[in-house]
Amino acid sequence: MQVNRELKDKAMDRIDHALGRPVNPLAHTYRDHYAAAADGDIAKEMAGSPHWRAGARHGVLQWFFVTREGREALRDHLREIGDQHRLYVVIWDGMEMPCVATSPSKARYSKWLDVSDCCNVSFKDFCRAARVRLAIGGATAAEGRA
């Protein structure tokens, strides 16, 4: 699952972006690539970094892929900045709904917003019936559990 974040450290932000902004950068991600202008400064920086492996060049674009070292560097960076995003599961009315949030209460509220679009349920009733748990493997990215 993805996290809605932008990192101040641009090198780490590029790795995070390339991986699809995952909760846990060490876990399998749906993507791991970044395209940069082949002759640009970013491509030169990436080519000299152990966090990237150069891929094919297509016209003016050079493709790069995040290495294991890059994933570990992002995990360490998220630990350093105190990123608290976790993967929770909100259970309501027989449904298990995964949710990225910084606390169980924020996960519950986020899922109520989703559910209330189609179901006539008050927040109070939703909170009474819903249960929230940390997902298996849902530790913070900073903890680096895959």
pLDDT tens digit sequence for 34-87 = 999 999 999 999 999 999 999 999 999 999 999 999 999 999 999 999 999 999
pLDDT of residue 2: 84
Sheet containing 33-37: which strands, arranged edge to edge?
Answer: 33-37, 61-66, 52-58
Mean pLDDT within 105-110 = 97
pLDDT surpassing 80 at residue 145 = no
Does residue 5 contact residue 85 with C-beta atoms inside 8 Å? Answer: yes
> Cα–Cα distance between 53 and 67 in angstroms, integer?
6
Write down the mean pLDDT value for the chain.
92
Domain spans of the chain, in order of start = 10-81, 86-143
Does residue 132 contact residue 88 with C-beta atoms inside 8 Å? Answer: yes
Angle in degrees, CA 51, 57, 59, rounded to 5: 140
